[in-house]
Amino acid sequence: MSSLSGASKYLLIFWSSTCSHCLNEIPGLYDELKNIKDTEVLAVGLEDGLENWKKTIPRLADFHHAIALEKWDSPYVQTFAIQQTPTYFILDENKRILDRPESAEKVLEYLKKH
C-alpha cells in the first residue's frame, strides 16, 4: 500500500482465489471500477498457495496485487479484523480508512457519491 500514490481514493480488498463468493462478485466490481476515476485498488489474496492465485489475477489486471500465504493465519486477518472474504476498505488519499462497505454494491455506491 505504501508504494501506491496519486489517487484520491484507494480500495483495499481482501479476497481469495478459492472463494466462490469472491470469484462471483469481484469481476463485476472490476468492470464497474473502470468507470470510476482516481481510485486505485490493492487486492490482497488470502491464500494457502500460489497456483490458483496466479491463475486468477490476470483477469483483474488493473488491480495492484499482493498475497498473504498464511490465509486465515495471516497477520492482516487480525489487524483488519477480517472474518470473511471478500472484505473491502475504502481509504482516502492518505490511506486512512473512510469506510468498510459490506458488498461490492456498497463499494460502488460509496465511490460514486464521494
With 90 as the cut, is the pLDDT of residue 2 above it? Answer: no
Phi, psi at 33, each rounded to 5°: -65, -20
DSSP tally for the chain: helices H, then strands E: 4, 5
pLDDT value of position 69: 95
pLDDT value of position 106: 97
**Each residue's pLDDT tens digit, 31-55:** 999 999 999 999 999 999 999 999 9
Which three three-digit cell numbers place residue 76? 492482516
**Each residue's pLDDT tens digit, 3-19:** 899 899 999 999 999 99
| Residue 46 and residue 72 in contact, taking contact as beta carbons nearer than 8 Å | yes
pTM > 0.85: yes or no: yes
Tell me which amino acid residue 64 is. H
| Residue 1 and residue 13 in contact, taking contact as beta carbons nearer than 8 Å | no
Dist CA 109 CA 111 (whole Å): 6
pLDDT value of position 3: 87
In the structure, what pLDDT confidence band is assigned to residue 90 with cuts at 50, 70 and 90?
very high
Distances in whole angstroms, Cα of residue 4 to Cα of each of 14, 17, 53, 72, 110: 17, 23, 21, 25, 21
